[in-house]
């Protein structure tokens, strides 16, 4: 672990080059570079909104107005995409950079680190849209309180708002980053031993995505007696925390956050140890 | 260099000499070869021995003092590249240890260490960072690296669009500009054009003058001999011989000779897929090349006597058969052709009867071909008619190799040429001459 931290500090410059290069490749390479990175999540959102909101008529809860649903989904998608991008790219990054690993003494431990940073930058672009949505629907053109909730004086109704809990945002960033990094280290190294991992990870992430309440409210899962799925899913805890902080200005449940932090650190420790232990064999395995 | 260094380390008692640039002891590298990808899984999960061991490098002992230029030679697959990877620290040894003192810059293979999507400029920064240079150092040298590579505007294009020559130029520019203590060069350099190779040679000579250590890897004995004082000869992962360039070069040529013969006889035994045509009254039943000692061989040496013997057998009576031999370089260049009829004093074979057999031989005192691979085509034509017609024409009937131990001339032909120099100056006129 400490050796990894030291190596990352030593190769700061290299790391920066990789991140800059990766972002440039994404945003400068194509003619409408930046536009694509914005368009892609929006199209994603439109599809999911159409399927879940208009066709399947998913409602977050009776108390929440319909307009909030799309924003709730969007926040989930943005966080999930960044996470899954970091994990899936880390899985194949050693193979993709085999030219470097096999031919020069290359600090391969910086590869998942840079992919995590790069995906974080992309997530920030998406989150900016979420923030803009909250600003619009919460302050500039506020949603009317639904009649049902207003009538009942329902305490469960949450208006879109910012609050002091926003200070937790960097903490969420860091925890998410560490969790993805741990998985990335583990899967990246494992993929050299078992190349099928690269193929499995896509399926695995898809199953994971749909078992996480991104397009549907967690309440529905509990009502269907599948609450244990949520209890096992750290990404659910994380995404709910993001929603509480970003959309409603609320403090996330701290026990869930603490659990996530614990899981993230354990995964990072195990993943990084496995990566570090198998690193000398990388050039032979490629 | 300690001339008494054994080729293999007999014991661990050999302590590193003070001032060794590279010291390796009992160095071995074993790769695991799996027949199927799933076998690797069984190995990883349950430790089953589902692999075959391949020892790419075996018990290598090296002790290279600072400031020496060392050549490593061996045929393809001798373990040269595997050894280099161990020395540069890219791979970890299975047994033994390596100690390297100082910053190593290596030019292992074409485009090694380049990221294909990155531009040339980005790759320069990437490579420099990997070599442990700081931003300041990189900025200071960036311009000179770009200038040395002569890549011009291409420096801003992704390296995947580069030609192999451009790869080498970029690679060498970086390796040579980072001010390494030890420079390791694989055969990649041979790809560059004449002009750039000259620049590289100059730069390498500068390095030598600065007292840096250079490790040079090639299977071109001539190149190694001209650059290195100490040569390490590898074969099948082991160091066969290490010593002065002269000594090892002889051993290498001897081995190349034996190997070449083995390989070429196998090649020549195989049924020919090359065309053969003619009316067939007389048949060329065999073709042999004979070395100076009159023994059949597929490997000849430049400047030595040789002969070509054709065996023939007549199936039907023939009036005037004429045998000829054509010499071609492996790329198809027609080097020489002759027959025994078109000469100042023609030799005639007249009225051959059915069932007769015999030999014809072409011999020369000096083989004027330089190092390379060549092949023979034999002609047997009937000259009794107005225009000669083919009786037995055999294309590409025998492949042979020419070794040139001296390597004083380059190209295809050995010319018995002469150099002369005239100098005029205050001291009067002087002349010097050198014979071939």
**Gap between the Cα atoms of B321 and B340, Å rounded:** 10
What residue ranges do the domains of chain A occupy?
Answer: 2-285
| pLDDT tens per residue across span B362-382 | 999 999 999 888 999 999 998
Please choose, from the candidates A200, A185, A201, the residue with its C-alpha nearest in 3D space to the C-alpha of residue A279: A185
Q: Which of B125, B115, B173, B128 is nearest to B149 (CA)?
A: B173
In the predicted structure, residue B142 carries a pLDDT above the cut 90: no
Q: What's the confidence (pLDDT) of residue A147?
A: 59
Instruction: Return the pLDDT at A148.
Output: 55
**More confident: B45 or B240:** B240
Which residue in B38, B45, B129 has the most chain A C-beta atoms within 10 A of its own C-beta, making it the best mutation to test that interface? Answer: B129
- Quick one: pLDDT band at residue A149, thresholds 50, 70, 90? low
For residue B417, give the 3-state DSSP assignment. coil
User: Does the pLDDT value for residue A82 go beyond 70?
Assistant: yes
| Average pLDDT estimate for A197-225 | 89
> Distances from the Cα of A135 to the Cαs of A128, A142, A164, A246, in angstroms?
10, 9, 15, 11
Length of chain B: 436
Q: What is the pLDDT of residue B6?
A: 39
Domain B277-403 = CATH 2.70.50.60: yes
The reported pLDDT for the residue numbered A63 is 67
DSSP code of residue A29: S
B contacts of A14 (beta carbons < 8 Å): 126, 129-130
The average confidence (pLDDT) of chain A is 85
pLDDT in tens, A88-112: 999 999 998 887 888 778 888 999 9
Instruction: Tell which of B50, B115, B138, B157 to mutate to test the A interface (max A CBs under 10 Å).
Output: B115
B5 to chain A, any CB pair closer than 8 A? The answer is no
| pLDDT (0 to 100) of residue B10 | 36
Smallest CA–CA distance from B84 into chain A, residue: A103
* Average predicted confidence (pLDDT) for chain B: 81
Domains B20-259 and B277-403 share a fold: no
Task: Using pLDDT thresholds of 50, 70 and 90, give the confidence band for residue A208.
Answer: very high
Q: How high is the pLDDT of residue B128? A: 82
When pLDDT is cut at 50, 70 and 90, the band that residue B1 belongs to is: very low
- B90 — contact with chain A (CB < 8 Å)? yes
Confidence at residue B176, expressed as pLDDT on a 0 to 100 scale? 78
Whether the CB of B113 is below 8 Å from some CB of chain A: the reply is yes
CA distance A114 to chain B (A): 14
pLDDT of the residue at B4: 39
For chain B, domain boundaries = 20-259, 277-403
Consecutive H or E run containing A209: helix A197-210
Cβ neighbours of B88 in A, within 8 Å = 104-105
Whether B224 and B216 have beta carbons less than 8 Å apart is answered as yes
B 19-58: CB under 8 A from A: 31-32, 37, 40-41, 44
Q: What is the pLDDT of residues B213-228, one digit of tens each?
A: 888 887 766 677 777 8
What's residue A111's pLDDT?
Answer: 92
Q: Does residue B200 carry a pLDDT above 50?
A: yes
**pLDDT (tens digit, 9 = 90+) per residue, B154-167?**
888 888 888 878 88
Residue B201, pLDDT > 90, answer no
Rounded mean pLDDT, B97-125: 79
**CB contact (8 A) between residue A11 and residue B134:** no
How many other C-beta atoms are found inside a 10 Å radius of the C-beta of residue A29? 11
Contacts 24+ apart (CB under 8 A), B40-48: B40/A193, B40/A194, B41/A193, B41/A194, B44/A193, B44/A194
Nearest to B112 among A25, A97, A103 (CB): A103
The CATH code that applies to domain B20-259 is 3.40.50.300
> Whole-angstrom Cα distance, residue B61 to residue B17?
12
* Contact yes or no for B9/B25 (Cβ under 8 A): yes
Residues of chain A contacting residue B130, judged by C-beta atoms under 8 Å apart: 14, 100, 104-107
Report the alpha-carbon distance of residue B435 to residue B420 in Å, rounded. Answer: 9
Chain B residues whose CB is inside 8 A of the A281 CB are 92
Q: Is B330's pLDDT higher than 50?
A: yes
What is the share, in percent, of chain B residues with pLDDT greater than 90? 12
- Nearest-Å Rg of the Cα atoms of chain A is 20
Characterize the bridge pairing of strands B276-277 and B393-403.
antiparallel
Q: Which residue has the higher pLDDT, B93 or A55?
A: B93
Where residue B7 falls among pLDDT bands split at 50, 70, 90? very low
On the question of pLDDT at B8 being above 50, the answer is no
Strand ordering across the sheet containing B95-100: B51-65, B20-34, B95-100
| Residue B5 confidence (pLDDT) | 40
Question: Model confidence at A187, in pLDDT bands (50, 70, 90)?
Answer: very high
pLDDT above 80 (res A78): yes
Distance from CA of A104 to the nearest CA of B (A): 6
The residue that leads in pLDDT, B131 or A211, is A211
């Amino acid at each position: 672990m400490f050796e990894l931290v030291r190596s990352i500090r030593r190769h700061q410059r290299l790391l920066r080059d990789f991140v800059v290069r990766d972002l440039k490749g994404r945003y400068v390479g194509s003619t409408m570079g930046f536009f694509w990175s914005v368009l892609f999540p929006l199209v994603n959102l439109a599809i999911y909104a159409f399927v879940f909101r208009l066709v399947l008529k998913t409602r977050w809860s009776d108390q929440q107005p319909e307009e909030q649903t799309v924003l709730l989904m969007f926040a989930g998608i943005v966080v999930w995409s960044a996470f899954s991008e970091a994990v899936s790219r880390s899985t194949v990054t050693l193979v993709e950079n085999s030219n470097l690993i096999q031919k020069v003494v290359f600090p391969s431990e910086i590869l998942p680190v840079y992919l995590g940073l790069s995906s974080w930058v992309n997530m920030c672009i998406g989150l900016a849209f979420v923030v803009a949505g909250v600003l619009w629907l919460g302050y500039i053109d506020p949603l009317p309180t639904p009649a049902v909730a207003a009538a009942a004086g329902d305490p469960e109704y949450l208006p879109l708002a910012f609050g002091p809990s926003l200070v937790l945002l960097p903490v969420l960033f860091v925890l998410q980053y560490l969790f993805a990094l741990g998985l990335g280290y583990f899967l990246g190294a494992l993929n050299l031993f078992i190349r099928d991992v690269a193929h499995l990870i896509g399926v695995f992430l898809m199953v994971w995505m749909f078992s996480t309440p991104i397009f549907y409210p967690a309440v529905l899962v509990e009502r269907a007696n599948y609450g244990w799925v949520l209890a096992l899913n750290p990404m659910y805890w994380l995404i709910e925390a993001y929603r509480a902080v970003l959309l409603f200005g609320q403090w996330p449940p701290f026990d869930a956050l603490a659990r996530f932090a614990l899981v993230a650190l354990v995964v990072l420790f195990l993943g990084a140890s496995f990566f570090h232990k198998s690193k000398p064999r990388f050039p032979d395995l490629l | 260099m300690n001339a008494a260094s054994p080729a293999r380390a007999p014991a661990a008692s050999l302590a590193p000499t003070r001032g060794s640039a590279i010291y390796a002891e009992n160095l071995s590298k074993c790769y695991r070869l799996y027949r199927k990808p799933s076998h690797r899984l069984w190995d990883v999960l349950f430790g089953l021995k589902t692999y075959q061991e391949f020892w790419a490098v075996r018990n290598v002992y090296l002790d290279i003092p600072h400031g020496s230029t060392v050549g490593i030679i061996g045929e393809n697959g001798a373990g040269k590249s595997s050894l280099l990877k161990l020395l540069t620290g890219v791979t970890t040894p299975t047994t033994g240890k390596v100690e390297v003192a100082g910053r190593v810059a290596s030019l292992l293979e074409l485009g090694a260490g380049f990221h294909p999507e990155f531009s040339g400029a980005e790759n320069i920064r990437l490579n420099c960072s990997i070599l442990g240079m700081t931003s300041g150092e990189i900025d200071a040298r960036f311009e000179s690296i770009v200038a040395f590579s002569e890549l011009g505007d291409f420096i801003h294009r992704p390296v995947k669009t580069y030609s192999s020559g451009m790869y080498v130029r970029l690679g060498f520019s970086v390796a040579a500009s980072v001010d390494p203590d030890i420079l390791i060069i694989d055969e990649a350099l041979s790809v560059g054009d004449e002009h750039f190779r000259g620049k590289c040679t100059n730069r390498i000579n500068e390095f030598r003058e600065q007292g840096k250590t250079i490790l040079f890897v090639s299977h071109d004995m001539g190149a190694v001999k001209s650059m290195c004082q100490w040569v390490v000869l590898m074969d099948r992962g082991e160091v066969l011989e290490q010593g002065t360039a002269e000594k090892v070069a002889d051993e290498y040529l001897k081995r190349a000779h034996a190997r070449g013969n083995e390989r070429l006889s196998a090649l020549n035994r195989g049924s020919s897929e090359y065309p053969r045509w003619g009316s067939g009254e007389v048949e060329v039943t065999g073709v042999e090349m004979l070395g100076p000692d009159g023994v059949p061989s597929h490997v000849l040496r430049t400047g030595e006597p040789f002969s070509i013997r054709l065996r023939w057998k007549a199936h039907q009576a023939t009036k005037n058969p004429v045998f000829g031999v054509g010499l071609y370089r492996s790329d198809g260049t027609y080097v020489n052709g002759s027959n025994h009829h078109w000469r100042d004093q023609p030799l005639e074979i007249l009225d051959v009867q059915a069932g007769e057999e015999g030999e014809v031989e072409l011999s020369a005192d000096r083989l004027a071909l330089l190092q390379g691979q060549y092949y023979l085509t034999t002609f047997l034509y009937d000259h009794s008619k107005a225009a000669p017609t083919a009786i037995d024409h055999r294309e590409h009937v025998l492949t042979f190799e020419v070794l040139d131990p001296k390597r004083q001339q380059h190209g295809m032909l050995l010319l018995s040429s002469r150099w002369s120099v005239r100098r005029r100056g205050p001291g009067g006129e002087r002349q010097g001459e050198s014979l071939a």
